[in-house]
A and B are shown apart, each in its own frame.
Chain A
Amino acid sequence: MAERTLKRRLFLGALSALMWAPLLYGGYGALSGIRRCSWAEGAEDALARIGNVYLAEFPEEAAPGKLGALLAGVPSLAAGFRSDAAALARSAFTEACARELRCGDTVLCDGWLLARSEARLCGLIALQVAERGVSDAALRSG
């Protein structure tokens, strides 16, 4: 898979995630005295945390190329990927997730019940965050 295609998919995936990221972001702000999650962490970190749980459960998918291919293989998502319009990508993602939820293609990640594609998207974000962390460390070390 060409690096450019992968980046595009990561970009579109992250874009789609914005649609529902606030939901998860809100969820991690659960402020009961018992479970003080890190409210200060950003939406991306929250999604990456879920993604890491998914990747731990499905280690065979823990590669950007593999996850990108799996997401691109979802029919309505594939149509979204062919478009340059963010709105279309979001709509395609919503449709794909709705279909998966209807037919029970769901996973529990860190307790959140998600459509399979949502979880995979979190997995992609987790990989992205991890890669950026490695790059930042490399930059800092010289």
Chain B
Amino acid sequence: MRGFLDSRRVPEGTEISADVAIIGAGAAGLTVAQGLLGLGLKVAVFEAGGLNPRKEDNALLDVDVQGDEYHVVGTRLRYYGGTTNHWGGQCFPLEAKDFERLPWIPHSGWPYGLDTLIPYYRRAHEIMGLGEFDYDAQAASATTGKPLFGLDGGGAFRTVIGRYNPHRFGLALDDVLTQDGDTDVYLFADLSELVLDEGGNAVSTGRFLTTASTSFTVRARYFVLAAGGIENARLLLTSNRQRPAGLGNGSDLVGRFFQEHIWYESGQVVPSRSLDREGLYLEHHVIGGGRIRASIAATRELEEAHGLPGFRADLRGMFPYSLAAADLRAGTIRAEDMALLVADPGTAFAAALCGGEPPLVGFTLANYFQMPPDPDHRVRLSERRDILGRPLPVVDFRIGSDLHDSLRRAHVLLATEIAKLGLGRMRVELPEAPETPLEERYYGAHHIGTTRMAASPREGVVDADARVHEVANLYVAGSAIFPTCGWQNPTLTIAATSLKLAEHLKSVAT
């Protein structure tokens, strides 16, 4: 057993050799490494952080932000396992339409369809402990005995099933990788640049720096950048020794089309029939060997008819007394809320004292909204440099009123559908034409699209195999390669596309 290797102890000037060098040990990099196990390939994985988060390394996560306010802290974790060390485990596969070139989503379209990814989704399900690859809402309803809300069949909205397991990619693999005779995992290794060979067609070496002021190089037949959507673009751009615009950037696409998921809590629904507080939408249920929960999403027809980006709403129960009861317990209840408790002291005090079951009167919506690809939303290099002398990345994007209007339109359509189908009433809480669009928005902490995939080098940085168009042996893994992201959380698709890349590497490297 070799265990983890500390790059800071690698002697200055050492050259490490491998068949495949993987830069980054998060969901993408570790899944590629897992896919290469047992093939007899010498694989070296390089993680910039250690086995735990270290405050002193935070400066190396620094990012300049221009355009809209965007809090990057917490969206990137600099240690083995990456952000899967703290993710919530929410998984949805992309759907067939998400791979299409959609007329109402400029720059949409993947170079392959859903069918191509299905086998990898299934394999990713096994790895991630998600249970059966089954996202059928009707079947979930039948199995659990919990009814669907009633929107399905109306043609505008439908129930979608999410699967949940916060799989810790690092923890799950540390023994496997460190005991595998062909795989080495180096910690505290910061890639400085990739250098092309004499012919200028392939990467010959990667130059690494450490916080111990040492450096070493890695020579490999294949390199995989799997450092996250911001870092992958940054590393291609900083590798500009032979190509001044950076590697893979002949069409000025590296770093462009940065996408996130907009998360916005807005909308109240009061259903016309009493709600099951353990319903399909409000609680997790175990079926098919994994936890599931339902959400509401727009149909393709509705999105197309109204030019909407992908839209999903997760439901949260509204318990009329629970908040006031919690305040009472904490001794922080406000005077006006005391009236609430007095209005129905029996239920309220049961909830306050016993943690009893307050009535469920409705639900609020937590909306996940696709940010459509826009070439002006981008990651580029800053004038500022980090403590290792590398240019910092700049994240630069602005949310326009069009996205606010789209989400509001989706809510008006949902409210209309709920009322029309006799399911209740919905309150649309997004103001019309506000000064600041989606003012109280959050983000999904997903960095997507900065090395987008396309069949043509004029439209994308990597090809359908995730190989950088202009470099023979350089690949990118992770959500950076997604041309579009739909409303789905990306980790399952990151794992699936990484397994696909591993299979490709197997075919070319063995």
Contacts and interface: CB of A to CB of B under 8 A. Distances in A.
A30 B419 contact: no
B428 A111 contact: yes
B419 A40 contact: no
Contacts of A35: 429
Contacts of B272: 20, 23
Given A27-B425, A98-B422, A113-B428, 6 more contacts: A32-B265, A32-B364, A39-B337, A39-B343, A112-B425, A113-B416
Given A23-B424, A29-B320, A32-B265, A106 B429 contact: no
B361 A114 contact: no
Interface string B260-291: 00000100101110000000000000000000
Interface in A36-79: 36, 38-40
A29 B339 contact: no
Nearest to B343: A40
A102 interface: yes
Contact of B364 (A30, A98, A106): A30
Nearest to A42: B343
Contacts of B265: 32, 34
A134 interface: no
A23 B424 CA distance: 7
21 contacts: A20-B425, A26-B320, A26-B362, A27-B270, A31-B318, A31-B319, A31-B320, A31-B322, A32-B323, A34-B440, A39-B324, A40-B339, A40-B343, A104-B416, A106-B416, A108-B428, A112-B415, A113-B425, A113-B428, A114-B425, A115-B419
Contact of A26 (B270, B324, B343): B270
B384 interface: no
Nearest to B360: A26
Interface residues of B, number: 34
Contacts of A111: 427-429
A25 B324 CA distance: 17
Interface in A99-136: 101-102, 104, 106, 108, 110-115
Interface of B: 265, 268, 270-272, 318-324, 336-337, 339-340, 343, 361-362, 364, 412, 415-416, 418-420, 422, 424-429, 440
Contacts of A142: none
A112 B418 CA distance: 11
Contact of B318 (A30, A36, A110, A114): A30
Contacts, number: 87
B419 A113 contact: yes
B428 A40 contact: no
A103 B422 CA distance: 14
A44 to B, nearest CB: 14
Contacts of A113: 412, 415-416, 418-419, 425-428
Contacts of B320: 26, 29, 31, 39
A24 interface: yes
Chain A: interface size category:
20 to 34
A40 B415 contact: no
A30 B362 contact: yes
A33 B323 contact: yes
Per CB-CB distance, the 5 closest pairs between chain A and chain B, nearest first, are A113-B415, A26-B361, A40-B339, A31-B323, A111-B427
A107 B220 CA distance: 65
B336 A40 contact: yes
A35 B412 CA distance: 20
B67 to A, nearest CB: 25
A31 B324 contact: yes
B177 to A, nearest CB: 43
A30 B268 contact: yes
Nearest to B419: A101
A49 B399 CA distance: 33
Contact of A101 (B322, B412, B416): B416
Contacts of B415: 108, 112-113
A39 B427 CA distance: 16
A23 B416 contact: no
B236 to A, nearest CB: 41
A31 B420 CA distance: 26
Contacts of A36: 336-337
Contacts of A112: 415, 425-428
A101 B272 CA distance: 15
A57 to B, nearest CB: 12
B323 A24 contact: no
Nearest to A111: B427
